[in-house]
Amino acid sequence: MKYNFDRLIDRTNTNSVKWDLTDQVFNKDKCLPLWVADSDWETAPEIKEAIKKRVKHGVYGYTYPSYELKEVIKKWVKSHYSWDIKTDWIVFANGVVPSINISIRALTVPGDGIIIQTPVYLPFISTVKNTGRQIVDNQLINRQSYFEIDFDDLKKQLNNENKDSCKRARLLLFCAPHNPVGRVWKKEELNKLNEIVLENDLVLVSDEIHSDFVYGDNQHIPAASLSKEIADKSITLMAPSKTFNIAGLSSSFAIIPNKKIREKFLSIKDHLVGRGNIFGLTAMKAAYSRGNEWLQAQLKYIEENIEFTTDYIDNNIPVVKYSKPQGTYLIWLDFRSIINCSETLNNQLVTEYNVALEPGNWFGESGAGFLRMNLATPRSNIKKALESIKKYVKKVECNYE
């Protein structure tokens, strides 16, 4: 096998958030951490070689993204998402989460409503609160572990029919593919969402950092690619960080077709963050120009991990329900039939079985009773975690008998 994703790499004592901060987050060290969304294998060899070459140069002064890098991104977006973009739409930043903050600060004022769709990635929630904006929670509908957008509720929220709704919703913060439920949104769903955005004069800020992780017949479609009208009301956030396991290099980009929106974004960004660091930009170029073969091998391995996980649950712990990922490398596990408190559930797994997942309530109130599990790890880690979950469930069920 050309790429060995089964190889166990010791990430402890490397300043890894996932492996070295588990004791601070969960009060237990030396447990198997499958919570933070990064991968447990080396990045593509082409990226390593590009970084080594840049290191060898020996001078690491101020840097900037080259025009050639923009062309590489343009080609990647076209070949992977069938979207023709212009190079001057691309704005570089230090990460997707900083770009979410920048978008909110650039396009809204304190007190404005920001629409999110929970359960959703924690920074969506914390960023809105920390910037003094108001959360408008358009919760996803859970149909037997298949999640859908509640379009009726979204329209009601915007029409102020709900007494708790915010009267000044200005921006919809979207997640595609969705973290944590793993949905890859269909074209019909995106068109309905876009229609609502345009009818209500919102700006669509779409976090598409997991856009390269799509399985089976599913296809990632950037919402902004579907019409010029929605493109002019959008900011699309992407990065190679998840795709190529280079989050520590802190480089991302936004695609902003509308010049006025782009200038507002830049006016905030240029005072807060840079355009990516010298090694991050080097890695990005190598990833998007020469990393596709490695990516395809990684996708195959993760898809096999997904099948292994769902088969194990079906055959050994059927009381645990799950949303089978269409995208991302995360699986959303439903333990509500035996326990509703995610933190109690995860704490017990940590303290008694040495496995740390991510509590569902971190993703909003609708995540209570769920855990998020990262499957971008060698299969032996997944097997170990699932065996621990099986033991935990058996113990809980015995206590109820």
pLDDT digits (tens, 9 = 90+) for 111-152: 999 999 999 999 999 999 999 999 999 999 999 999 999 999
Tell which residue, 271, 37, 356, 45, has the closest CA to residue 177.
37
Task: Please give the C-alpha separations between residue 343 and each of 198, 340, 357, 392, in angstroms, as whole numbers.
Answer: 39, 9, 10, 14
3-state secondary structure string across 102-154: HHHHHHCCCCCEEEECCCCCHHHHHHHHHCCCEEEECCCEEECCEEECCHHHH
Give the CB-side neighbour count of residue 302, counting CA atoms within 13 A: 31
Does residue 205 contact residue 235 with C-beta atoms inside 8 Å? yes
CA distance 162 to 178: 25
CA distance 388 to 355: 7
pLDDT of residue 167 exceeding 70: no
CA distance 253 to 248: 15
pLDDT of residue 31 exceeding 80: yes
The two three-digit tokens of residue 253, written as one number: 């980009």
CA distance 224 to 213: 19
Q: Give the residue extent of every domain in the chain.
A: 17-44+293-400, 59-290
Rounded to the nearest 5°, which phi and psi values hold at 106?
A: -80, -30
> Which CATH number among 3.40.1280.10, 3.40.50.450, 3.40.605.10, 3.90.1150.10 corresponds to the domain 17-44+293-400?
3.90.1150.10
pLDDT digits (tens, 9 = 90+) for 294-324: 999 999 999 999 999 999 999 999 999 999 9
CA distance 99 to 43: 24
The two three-digit tokens of residue 100, written as one number: 């979410």
pLDDT digits (tens, 9 = 90+) for 343-392: 899 999 999 999 999 999 999 999 999 999 999 999 999 999 999 999 99
Does residue 92 contact residue 65 with C-beta atoms inside 8 Å? yes
CA distance 305 to 299: 10
pLDDT over 90 percentage in the chain? 91
Quick count: other Cβ atoms within 10 Å of Cβ 368?
19
pLDDT value at position 152? 97
3-state secondary structure string across the chain: CCCCCCCCCCCCCCCCHHHHCHHHHHCCCCCEECCCCCCCCCCCHHHHHHHHHHHHHCCCCCCCCCHHHHHHHHHHHHHHHCCCCCHHHEEEECCHHHHHHHHHHHHCCCCCEEEECCCCCHHHHHHHHHCCCEEEECCCEEECCEEECCHHHHHHHHCCCCCCCCCCEEEEEEECCCCCCCCCCCHHHHHHHHHHHHHCCCEEEEECCCCCCECCCCCCCCHHHHCHHHHCCEEEEECCCCCCCCHHHCCEEEECCCHHHHHHHHHHHHHHCCCCCHHHHHHHHHHHHHCHHHHHHHHHHHHHHHHHHHHHHHHHCCCCEEECCCECCEEEEECCCCCCCHHHHHHHHHHHHCEECEEHHHHCHHHCCEEEEECCCCHHHHHHHHHHHHHHHHHHHHHHC
The 10 Å CB-count burial string (b at 16+, else e) for 109-147 is eeebbbbbbbbbbbbbbebbeebebbbbbbbbebeeeeb
pLDDT value at position 388? 97
pTM: 0.96
pLDDT value at position 161? 52
CATH of domain 59-290: 3.40.640.10
> Residue 333 pairs with which residues in a beta bridge?
322, 371
The whole-number average pLDDT for the span 90-105 is 97
CA distance 360 to 311: 22
pLDDT digits (tens, 9 = 90+) for 173-227: 999 999 999 999 999 999 999 999 999 999 999 999 999 999 999 999 999 999 9
